[in-house]
A and B are shown apart, each in its own frame.
Chain A
Amino acid sequence: MSARTHPPVDVVTVGGGWTAAILASKLCPQGRTMVSLEQGASRWTYPEYAHDHDSLRYSGRYAMMVNLRQETWTWRPHPRVTALPMRQYGSFNPGQGLGGSGVHWSGQLWRFMPTDFVRRTHVTERYGAKRIPADMTLQDWGVTYDELEPYYDQFEWDIGAGGAAGNVGGRILPGGNPFEGPRSRGYPNPPLVVTPYGQMFADACTDLGLHPFTQPTGILSRGWIDPHGNARSGCLYCGFCTRFGCEVDAKSSPQNTHLPVALDTGRYEVRLGCKVTRIEVDDRGRATGLTYVDAEGREHFQPARVVVASAFTLENTRILLLSRSRAHPNGVGNDRGRVGRNYTYQIYPAPVTGVFQGRKLNMFMGNTCTIKVIYDYNGDNFDHSDLDFIGGSQLYSEPCEREPFNSVDGLTTRDGKAWGAAWKEELRRNWDSHASILTEGESNPYEDQFLDLDPNYTDRFGNPLLRIAFDWHPNEQRMWRYLAARAREIMARMNPSRIVRTMPELGRYNIHDYQSTHPTGGCVMGTDPGTSVTNTHGQVWDTPNVFVTGAALFPQNAGANPTGTIGALTYRTAQAMDDRYFDDPGELLS
């Protein structure tokens, strides 16, 4: 091999995003050395985010996302037909560059509910095993909410999360989410303020006997000095948040939380412009390090005692599959053919959009967290005994970071047009007087819904792209029908002057509409190597010195954004590695 070989380190990671930064912030102060190989560029709050609220650059041209000129993902609705590449950004927006998707994320911060972690057991016990469709590969996580709670708590207090606690130690508190699992204490900061539309939504929900609360957030609602000494500003409600870096550090990102801690040790290095191409393994099948290509096209090898796949969900799955060897002919972690299994997503569309002529809603002020949410129809918070589906979704008021160039066609005339003189008048009257109710719904795993390598399309190095097989199934379509009806009830209560559109049926998945950057699964965790790729620490069963972090570990996706759970799982992995792994390297953690 002509690759340049670097001095060995304790840990090397694929990607320099948030989970890598968390691991480094925990392991490097304990004396471990760590290198992260990040395909993108450097970005720091100053000067790189001191930008001009440039919608076209960040929202229109995806300046912070994986460069589709170099690689993408292919998709097909099911395995019996061909896949085509997502040639331009649509369904999801994985980030690249220092901090990964943790820079351009929306800031919506959740804990999954206790029942989410024991999904199969819970559904079986409450409704009977027959309620789970035969091809739905629902499973328990192997870790419970109570086990994760201390890590959720640490993550929230380290980043200065904002919200109103709904359940502290089993006591239900007013103003919070009454359906959340018990927390050991409240949030370090209050929630953000809510825009007029969010308040209208909350009032309608209260009238209907539902339980609205303000979106919990990873965006600071006030100035904050975190436990590591990072001093950060409160939110400016500027309206340029998702897909943008925050110029005042109000939105939590690796750069203003865990990265400074890790880099200050002198034992952590993020090597930028470096694309990892494979995990190398020895004859016994143990990982020896990562091969990567730098910005000048030169090949390198970084040896390490531990390899962590800490990139985005899809790339973590892909790098395991690409790493074929004599010891692991189907890729690392894939000796039993379980890599790629249980790929899930998030049900996101808007079931109903209304016009409130004469009322200004401030849809361009704030962010995705200046809103109200209900959990009454999420998870198993409502009785499914007489319903024809399992699962649920949040319903929430549309986020408030509207940018006109990519949203004007969301307001159409009565005959469905987004052009012409009548449309212009509609825009003049109602551009800031229309809004939607949105969903953030569960996505269940199925046998014909998985990730593998594409036979037809490659990246710039000739390596196969990752291929996604995914579509909505009858359970989710029935769930949508029920939720959309609930959303229409809430909208009706808000007394709109006109309904712009409704979406009573979910229909089929498509890859071209942006939905959410919440692809999950593919390297799922569990307690049974027959139905999982890793144990509950993200440690790969068949290659125990390889770990996976992030949402690729989720056995199925809950009705909430993944970042809080990704953070908590990573804290738990970091602690297990720090406490036990290096004492007995290469052994499976219990």
Chain B
Amino acid sequence: MTDDRALTRRRLLQLAGGTAVAVGLAGCGSGDRTASPEVRVSTDVDAVAWPPLPPGTPPQCNVHRFFTTAEAAVVDALVARIIPGDARDPGAREACVPAYIDDKLARFPSFATPTYFQPPFAKPVTTGPVPPDQRDAETILVDAADAHLYGFQADLTPQESWRKGIAALQAYCRRRHGRPFEHMAPARQDALLDRFQALKDASDHGAPVPTAHADLDAAFAGPSASGFFGMVLEDTYEGMFADPAYGGNKGMAGWLLIGYPGAQRAYTPDEVLTPGTDRPPQSLGQMPHMHPGMPEGDAMLPMAGTLRTGTRR
């Protein structure tokens, strides 16, 4: 993803800080009226953690830093059913999605996406609507029939959700199918994922747990079966379809599949008006320089929390 031409002094500094991918492009200048006259690195305490920065070097497909070998085998089997593939027609496994997910979890001990993670956390109850003041220090009660309207309310980090979710899945598969998930036949795996889907559909609409899948639901104490399945899907989508600079979407397999040309700097009005494009996909690291005429023509991605305190120009 990286381009040697972009390895300037500033870029090296950025890489040393564990961040950065190069940028740039031709032409289309912003005049200096809207240029930043002074940029200083923030002392904001959150600058390091937020917002997240793209990794400088894509991880290797077969290296895992967060998952154990046993866990990695389950992740590999799961994503291979979400987007199946083979060497000729890559799916999530071939596109390095398991390594992407592992890298994301290793990089962010808490959440990759900004998350308000303060207690009290919600506890759904089935006794009907709960008046506003029903709480103790740790939990706050909410009507289970409304719980789906409030979005993410779990008290687990993604690391915890993945680890505990995999354990619950494996325990269920051994008990119900006599073998771990990754050793089940693909058709059996799909049938089980269909049951997760049914639980997710019910949960998304605030419907009761379908009786036929109550045992699967009960096998997950935290995360919920539907929450775990939703997380697997979302992380697989990211790994398959986000920019390869993040370590997934190897060979731009996801973008070639759907016909997306990736990070293009511009389309002409004629291209917009004409259906379809034959541009080959490109990663953000392959984009041309943005401001070749400017002193820092290969400007970096905006750094987290860059702060300009003296704002008089």
Contact = CB atoms under 8 A, between A and B. Distances in A.
Interface stretch (A127-135, A178-186, A411-419, A545-553): A411-419
Nearest to A273: B307
B23 A51 contact: yes
Contact of A509 (B46, B149, B274, B276): B149
Nearest to A48: B302
B313 A82 contact: no
Contacts of A51: 23, 301-302
Main secondary structure of the interface of B (DSSP, over half): loop
Interface stretch (B57-65, B166-174, B212-220, B240-248): B240-248
Contacts of B190: 420
B113 A89 contact: yes
Interface string A47-60: 11111111111001
B213 to A, nearest CB: 16
B311 to A, nearest CB: 4
Contact of B149 (A48, A65, A77, A406): A77
A581 to B, nearest CB: 25
A496 B246 CA distance: 36
A63 B51 CA distance: 5
A406 B239 CA distance: 11
Contacts of A98: 308
Contacts of A61: 51-52, 112-114
B202 interface: no
A432 interface: yes
B107 to A, nearest CB: 12
A424 B307 contact: no
A103 to B, nearest CB: 11
Interface in A241-259: 247-249, 255-256
A236 interface: yes
A90 B16 CA distance: 34
A512 B42 contact: no
A260 B33 contact: yes
Nearest to B28: A248
Contact of A67 (B50, B132, B260): B50
A79 B116 contact: no
A387 interface: no
B28 A238 contact: no
Given A295-B307, A362-B275, A404-B254, A249 B113 contact: no
A200 to B, nearest CB: 10
A424 B23 CA distance: 32
Contacts of B146: 77, 81
Interface string B270-286: 01111111000000110
Closest 10 CB pairs of A and B: A512-B151, A52-B284, A42-B308, A47-B299, A360-B276, A236-B266, A44-B36, A431-B258, A63-B51, A404-B241
Given A56-B238, A56-B246, A273-B309, 18 more contacts: A47-B302, A50-B291, A52-B21, A54-B243, A56-B242, A61-B114, A67-B114, A68-B115, A68-B116, A70-B46, A72-B116, A81-B130, A81-B142, A82-B133, A196-B273, A408-B258, A458-B118, A511-B151
